[in-house]
Structure 1
Amino acid sequence: MQRKVFVPGVALLATLAAGCTGGSGTEGSTADSKAGDPTTSAAPDGKYRTLREPCGSVDRALLRDLLPGATSLPPEQQAKAYAGTADVTYDTDRQVGCRWKADSPEATHQLVVEFERVVSYDTTVSDDDRAEEVYAKQVTAAHLPSPSAPPESADEEGTDGESTSPGADASPGADASPSASAKPDSAPETTPSSESGAPSQTPEGLQPRTLGSLGDAAFLDDVLARSDSTAQRRTVSVVFRTSNVIVTVRYSAQPALMTAVPDSKELQEKAQAVARKLAEQFSE
């Protein structure tokens, strides 16, 4: 009968070798994963680890409505207009964008879509919390008008005959005029233009504002740029946050006639339609 030979220490060496060559647990990790003490729990990563391709995020039917000037172009140029132009980026998992533009005899329309994935490198701050901070700064930079505050009592109208008249020294929301008292929750009916300082006649209910039912948080901005030498250009921006991604939609129109004013309601409805479609895509 053949005897088996047992070499002492071989089994131990094999076990040690296996331990040294085993997986380290970093397979599949990315450069933006949070580093820190493995014995402590790091703040959670965001829901999104990559970004969608922006130029393919807006379907052709919607682009036809947004870019009416493209429908009259030859097929080759029309296809190019609908394909959009991608923004130059060095990290497509962190920030991407695309823009479309079409001219017509009546007006020039442009659409811009941007995606930003926010990553927190602080182990105590989650990606979502960091994205919320970035979004809050954008809300602040937009200078959204505050709703007018109602007067504290009817006696403030001036029982002694000294009523306060609105003027340059009046504080926001302190206008005691009948219109302000009747509609205390409405924002100012005009917003200042970005260039001339003249008010842009934004219809009531369409002023820059926060939006509901769009991502985790959203707001809309509406700016009419007036100039003496060029036609007026209105740009509507819709920005929303979903987990650790911030989506920006900018839709603008500049009529060919200098006296024409782009319709605020139409631009806002179309910009919000794009934003809703994008929000649906991110929720898939």
Structure 2
Amino acid sequence: MAYVTGTALLAAFVVGCSADTGTGGSAADSKSGTETVAAAAPGKYRTLPEPCRAVESSTLKDLLPGAAELTEDQQRKVHEGTAAVTYDTDRRVGCRWKSEDSSSSHSLFIDFERVVSYDPAVSDDDRAREVYTKKETAAGLSSPSATPDATESAESTGGGEDKGEKKQTPPADSGDTSGDTSGDASESTSHALTGPTPEGKSTNDENTDDGAGTPDENLQPRILDDLGDSAFLDDLLTRAGSTAQHRTVKVVFRTSNVIVTVEYTEQPAVSTAVPDSKELQEKAQALARKLVDEFSE
């Protein structure tokens, strides 16, 4: 008669139990009625470009005309730009350029922000959309998707206010000039557009390119429909006291989980001169489109 030792019997028992639960282990571990929530998709971009190399030399020559009067070494230094101070180059980087000549000074600033969501249920794109919307709201603009709800709310509380009057109401000033003078109480910033003063006209007249005595609506701060996933343009005229004044055109766009800001500023040497909105806007938008193309490559 063969005898099985206690140790061998115990080992056989353990093996038998493991075999019995081999196909049903996942079912035993899962909780009935509990659904597993899939993590939101990560953003398209995991890194950011080097900002001071993001703008071509030919573009910088056009945006910074004063550099043409400098020596080659001085021009090279201007075109190198100055990197913005940052503590996480994977999340945010920027660069600034500036040039001066006898008639005016120009400065250019670009900012790249890569948005990351730390909520597994919220994608990087969705979080970037929230950050972008806050910037758009701060500029006094509303995204197309938000316009219907805002209109319904205004109609429900406005007692039949005329829609045309609401459309002509200038956007509220966010108080952010995105420059070094935002905290100077002596400065006033306006979204109202005032172009170069034609000979024989008052300096208080606004652009009347449409011939009807009203500002050119095509140059007003606005949503841009053909730039990245979403974009807007803001036009700020800042007066420092009663003399110097400068205009900053800001173009902000989102592509996936990256938000790009382009700021182009001109300050004439003559205190009575006003920078031309159309020219600044065209150049700022042209640069923004080039940057979009670089991200798309």
Q: Same-fold call, TM > 0.5?
A: yes
Consecutive unaligned residues in structure 1, runs of 5 or more: 1-38, 148-170
Q: Distance in 1 between matches of 2:193 and 2:255?
A: 31
Structure 1 residue corresponding to 2:252, chosen from 239, 243, 249: 239
Q: TM-score, normalised by structure 2?
A: 0.67
Aligned to 2:85: 88
Letter in 2 for 1:225: T
Deviation at 1:89, TM superposition (A): 1.2
Q: Distance in 2 between matches of 1:116 and 1:190?
A: 25
Deviation at 1:193, TM superposition (A): 11
Contact 2:98–2:106 (CA<8 Å) still a contact in 1? yes
Q: Distance in 2 between matches of 1:188 and 1:237?
A: 21
Consecutive unaligned residues in structure 2, runs of 5 or more: 1-35, 145-157, 176-186, 195-206, 208-214
1:74-223 equivalence runs, <5 A: 74-144=71-141, 174=161, 187=168, 195-196=187-188, 199-201=192-194, 203-204=215-216, 205-223=218-236
Instruction: Work out the number of aligned pairs and report it.
Output: 218
Contact 2:139–2:172 (CA<8 Å) still a contact in 1? no
Structure 1 residue corresponding to 2:68, chosen from 71, 83, 99: 71
Contact 2:139–2:171 (CA<8 Å) still a contact in 1? no
Q: Distance in 1 between matches of 2:142 and 2:70?
A: 40
Aligned to 2:55: 58
Aligned to 1:48: 45
Contact 1:249–1:275 (CA<8 Å) still a contact in 2? yes
Q: Distance in 2 between matches of 1:282 and 1:90?
A: 22
Secondary structure, counterpart of 1:136 in structure 2: helix
String of CA shifts for 1:55-104, please: whole Å, max 9, x gaps: 11110111111000000011111100011111111111100000000001
Aligned to 1:19: none
Aligned to 2:30: none
RMSD (Å) for aligned C-alpha atoms: 2.9
Change (3 A) 1:78 1:47: same
Structure 2 residue corresponding to 1:269, chosen from 277, 282, 289: 282
Change (3 A) 1:48 1:145: closer
Secondary structure, counterpart of 1:226 in structure 2: strand
Q: Distance in 2 between matches of 1:187 and 1:206?
A: 14
Deviation at 1:189, TM superposition (A): 8.0
Letter in 1 for 2:139: A
Q: Distance in 2 between matches of 1:279 and 1:90?
A: 25
The answer to which structure has the higher helix fraction is 2
Q: Distance in 2 between matches of 1:197 and 1:75?
A: 36
Letter in 1 for 2:141: L
Q: TM-score, normalised by structure 1?
A: 0.70
Letter in 2 for 1:238: V
Secondary structure, counterpart of 2:281 in structure 1: helix
Change (3 A) 1:174 1:80: farther
Deviation at 1:175, TM superposition (A): 6.2
Change (3 A) 1:227 1:145: farther
Aligned to 1:166: none
String of CA shifts for 1:252-275, please: whole Å, max 9, x gaps: 000000000000000000000110
Change (3 A) 1:192 1:230: farther
